[in-house]
Amino acid sequence: MLTEQPISALAELIEAVAAPLLVLDLDEGGKVAAVLCNKRFEDLDPPFASGATETQIPGAFRAAIGCCARSAAPIELSRFLAIEGEPRDIRLAPLKGADGVVRRIVGTVTDESFREDLIAARDQAETSHRAKSDFLANMSHELRQPLNAIIGFSQIVVDEVFGPIGEPRYLDYLRDIQFSGKHLLNIINDLLDLSKNEAGRLALIEQPTEIAEVIETSIRLLRDKAAVAGVTVRAELPSDLPLVWADEQRLRQVVMNLLSNAIKFTPEGGEVAVTVALDAAGVSIVVSDTGIGMAPEDVPRALEPFVQIENVMTRNREGTGLGLPLSKALIELHGGFFSVQSTPGKGTAVTAGIPVARFVTGPKKGGERQIEAGAA
Ligand SMILES: Nc1ncnc2c1ncn2[C@@H]1O[C@H](COP(=O)(O)OP(=O)(O)OP(=O)(O)O)[C@@H](O)[C@H]1O
Ligand SMILES: [Mg+2]
């Protein structure tokens, strides 16, 4: 019980509280035996401070303390304190000992103006967060234009549209320029998506979507990457999957991110599987691998932007640490569920789920399925 702790033991605790706080200990007769306040309270220009004696406390305040102790009910004291001349209110709350007698009284500043200070601080933090997101979004946008020119024009030269290049080494360099340009564009696109999402401006383009189709195209697009890594990729899809109301391109982006992670972090000879399960919550796409895995305590970090877990495979693998956080954000934009299970040395399974509310069901009408639950 808090009243059993000696008042001296509370000093550190009350100093850690962000608002002005006062603790008073009462003796058997209900008189103030000890006064403790944090620095924020002392800054309020009160008529007493920590260590004050009963006689140093103004009479009106002493009366209020007595009243609070006798009634064992909270009391509000209007305009009792001041900050830079501005009057503030204080609320006294009684704390009872094991015997039911009020032993301690806690005072907090309650008035609106103090709350306004907190609201102003919160607004300022939100504004600077938004400024950061806007900056990232603008930067990404500005960087995309010249990159598209680099990629487009190098393609024209690689294709030798206006005549042969001659020296074959130039062609190799051009392919490198193209590859690097596309890689950079992917990173910038991810960055733009994440900052748009943070600003609440990432919109979904929704339509009835075939999950099986999304998975099959993703696997096809990553077939070469898997072959180079010596990893086999298999899919197990039930035949009765529902159509879902989703952003098909974004869903493919999620599946491709998860698949490319699974391929990237699985040593040669390993296996990646995509399975789909239906249950009461919705439809779950599970991408699992027999790769290097992660320690459970590293999983929350892997879901943060720009974090790569330090290990033998991340050291020499490309990546920025945006794939997982972006995938999670995209699934959550669909109102879905996202989780990562991983065991070091055994493998990882990432689940991306679309909720039942997004199932497109009902009898087929003229070849089209009726949409029962629409976009969130
Ligand atoms: N299937 C997996 N097996 C083991 N570790 C993984 C797996 N997926 C992700 N990780 C760990 O989580 C980190 C973050 O993953 P994320 O996809 O966000 O970044 P990345 O793949 O390194 O880079 P990017 O996706 O931006 O190209 C990875 O660097 C890796 O350490
Ligand atoms: Mg990745």
pLDDT tens-digit readout, 76-122: 887 777 666 777 788 899 998 888 889 999 998 876 666 677 788 88
Residues 161 and 239 in one domain: no
Which among 213, 25, 222, 202 has a CA at the least distance from the CA of 107? 25
User: Tokens 């999957």 map to which residue?
Assistant: 241
Give me the residue label for tokens 């391109």.
249
Q: Are residues 50 and 169 in the same domain?
A: no
Mean pLDDT along residues 308-335: 85
Indicate the burial class of 214 (C-beta count within 10 angstroms; 0-12, 13-18, 19 or more). Answer: buried
The two three-digit tokens of residue 334, written as one number: 């669909």
The token duo for 65 is 């303390």
82: left (phi over 0), alpha (psi -120 to 50) or beta: beta
Q: Is residue 127 one of the residues assigned to a domain? A: yes
Please check whether residue 344 lies inside any domain of the structure: yes
In angstroms, what CA-CA distances link 283 with 203, 251, 280, 336, 343?
A: 22, 13, 8, 9, 24
Distance 327 CA to ligand 1 centre (A): 11
Q: Confidence band (pLDDT; 50, 70, 90) for 152? A: very high
- Residue 362: per-residue pLDDT: 43
> pLDDT tens across 323-340, in order?
999 999 999 999 999 999
8-state DSSP, 80: E
Do 170 and 238 have their domain in common? no
Give residue 372's pLDDT.
37
| Domain finish residue from 174, 198, 222 | 198
| Nearest alpha carbon to residue 219 among 180, 272, 175 | 272
Instruction: Identify the weakest region by mean pLDDT among 63-77, 251-265, 283-297.
Output: 63-77
User: In angstroms, what is the span from residue 70 Cα to ligand 2's centroid?
Assistant: 64
If asked whether residues 72 and 136 sit together in one domain, one would say no
Same domain, 294 and 175: no
DSSP 309-342: --SHHHHTS---S-HHHHHHHHHHHTT-EEEEEE
Residue 254 and residue 324 share a domain: yes
| pLDDT over 50 (residue 369) | no
Length of the chain: 376
Is 374 inside any structural domain? no
Q: How many domains does the chain have?
A: 3
pLDDT score recorded for residue 373: 36
Mutate to test the pocket of ligand 1, among 308, 312, 320 (most ligand atoms within 8 A of CB): 308
Residue 270 confidence (pLDDT) above 70: yes
Closest approach atom of ligand 1 to CA 260: 21
Residue 71 bridge partners (DSSP): none
Within a 10 A sphere around the Cβ of 67, how many other Cβ atoms? 12
Q: Residue 108 half-sphere exposure, CB side, CA atoms within 13 Å?
A: 12
Query: Is residue 374 scored above 60 in pLDDT?
Result: no
Lowest mean pLDDT among 182-186, 288-292, 294-298, 318-322: 318-322
Helices and strands (DSSP H and E) totals, the chain: 11, 15
User: Is residue 357 domain-shared with residue 227, that is, in the same domain?
Assistant: yes
Give, in order, the Cα–Cα distances in Å from 84 to each of 37, 46, 76, 133.
19, 11, 21, 36
CA distance 360 to 369: 7
- Position 137 in a domain: yes
- For residues 267 and 324, state if they share a domain: yes
Residue 34: give its domain's CATH number: 3.30.450.20
Nearest residue (CA) to ligand 1, atom 12: 302
**DSSP secondary structure of 18-63:** SS-EEEEEE-TTS-EEEEEE-HHHHTT--S--TT--GGGS-HHHHH
Query: Same structural domain for residues 152 and 38?
Result: no
Segment of 54-63, 216-225, 353-362 carrying the highest mean pLDDT:
216-225
Tokens representing 306 are 């720009």
When the pLDDT of each residue in the chain is averaged and rounded to a whole number, the result is 87
Tell whether ligand 1 has an atom less than 6 A from the beta carbon of residue 41.
Answer: no
Q: Do 331 and 215 lie in a common domain?
A: yes
Q: Is residue 14 within 8 Å of residue 34, measured between CB atoms?
A: no
Of the bound ligands, which one is closest to the alpha carbon of residue 318?
A: 1
In a domain, 338, yes or no: yes
Please tell me the predicted confidence (pLDDT) of residue 370.
37
Whole-number Å distance, alpha carbon 311 to ligand 2 midpoint, is: 14
* Containing structural domain, residue 59: 2-110
Residues 106 and 121 in one domain: no
Cβ atoms of residues 349 and 338 within 8 Å: no
Q: What is the pLDDT of residues 227-262, one digit of tens each?
A: 999 999 999 999 889 999 999 999 999 999 999 999
**Are 194 and 217 found together in one domain?**
no
Give the CATH number for residue 275.
Answer: 3.30.565.10
For tokens 């035949």, name the residue: 239
Q: How far apart are CA 271 and CA 291, in angstroms?
A: 8
The verdict on residue 375 lying in a domain is: no
